[in-house]
Amino acid sequence: MNKYLDISEQVREALAAGKPVVALESTIISHGMPYPQNVETALNVEKIIRELGAVPATIAIIGGRLKAGLSPEEIDYLGRSGSAVAKASRRDLPVLVARGADGATTVTTTMMIAAMAGIRVFATGGIGGVHRGAETTMDISADLEELAQTPVVVVCAGAKAILDLGLTLEYLETKGVTVVGYGTEELPAFYSRKSGFGVDYRMDTPEEIAKAFHVKQELGLCGGMLVTNPIPEEYSMPEDVINSVIDTAVAECAAQGIHGKETTPFLLKRVKELTGGESLESNIQLVYNNARLAAKTAAALAALEENDRG
């Protein structure tokens, strides 16, 4: 085991027993939502996963230690601290660990730490991707590179709608990442169930997803698998409405000269403000929905691995 990694007792026991475990990111706690909704959402996600027979492993960096499995007190600490906690991507890990600092993990670093711990399924809200205007800014999320090299199933509601979804799919195709639509042939767009872009494969059961990833591992292929799970119909926002809001937020972002890792938190905050808070409720509900699918997928994968052990 990596000497900088701490796995909670509950997660360690579950992994040793071959029980399903679901990784969860912490940037959504510190940077994705306001307090106290961030902490309430994080604890509810863990509860949902437990109710479906899996063990949640919220991931973060605390005091320079890579943590797979947080206590409620640690989750509350991240939620209260908010953006004062560093948003930690791959490039930040060595410095934060060396300094004994705290960090909230993005999709990228959650995948990395989950893989170190032996966790194969991860639930999040939406992944990062190719930002609008990337042909001039070169602003492309490290999430896409991580999906290409780290063996974790990532369950999300699609790439964040603030991105260039077409270019994001092209990038994933180039990197050999399989993009699955759960119950759909169309890529969901985070707040909306539709985007106008197709996925690689439609799969209709958690067992089908688990089998495909299991075979990928048996074939010795590197990288993860992206499972896109549409937001529940009742919380979906109309495409034209959310796209208009996003266009406004993107223009404001450019006018203020915001770039790099500050871009996504700024855009999500402005979208929330411009929608009168409606986008926050949608965000919370899609995270819950992804947690359910991830827990079922982790259970199906654990069953396949148990069969392999005889």
For the chain, give every domain's residue range. Answer: 5-309
Q: Using an 8 Å Cβ cutoff, are 245 and 252 in contact?
A: no
The CATH fold assigned to 5-309 is Indigoidine synthase fold (3.40.1790)
The predicted-structure confidence for 250-305, as pLDDT tens digits, reads as follows 889 888 988 776 777 787 778 778 877 777 888 899 999 999 999 999 999 999 99
Residue 148 corresponds to which amino acid?
Answer: A
Residue 9 corresponds to which amino acid?
Answer: E
User: Is 269 assigned a catalytic role?
Assistant: no
> Which pair of structure tokens corresponds to residue 108?
């990228």
- Tell me what the pLDDT averaged over the chain comes to: 93
The pTM is what? Answer: 0.92
CA dist., res. 86 & res. 93, Å (int): 10
Catalytic-labelled residue, pool 67, 87, 160, 261: 160
Q: State the Cα angle at 81 between 116 and 289, rounded to 5°.
A: 60
User: Is 146 assigned a catalytic role?
Assistant: no
> Which pair of structure tokens corresponds to residue 25?
């990111």
Catalytic-labelled residue, pool 25, 46, 74, 146: 25
DSSP 3-state assignment of 25? coil
DSSP 182-214: ET-SB--BTTBS--S-B-SEEE-SHHHHHHHHH
CA dist., res. 112 & res. 150, Å (int): 7
The predicted-structure confidence for 201-216, as pLDDT tens digits, reads as follows 999 999 999 999 999 9
Cβ-based burial of 82 (10 A; exposed 0-12, middle 13-18, buried ≥19): middle
CA dist., res. 206 & res. 94, Å (int): 35
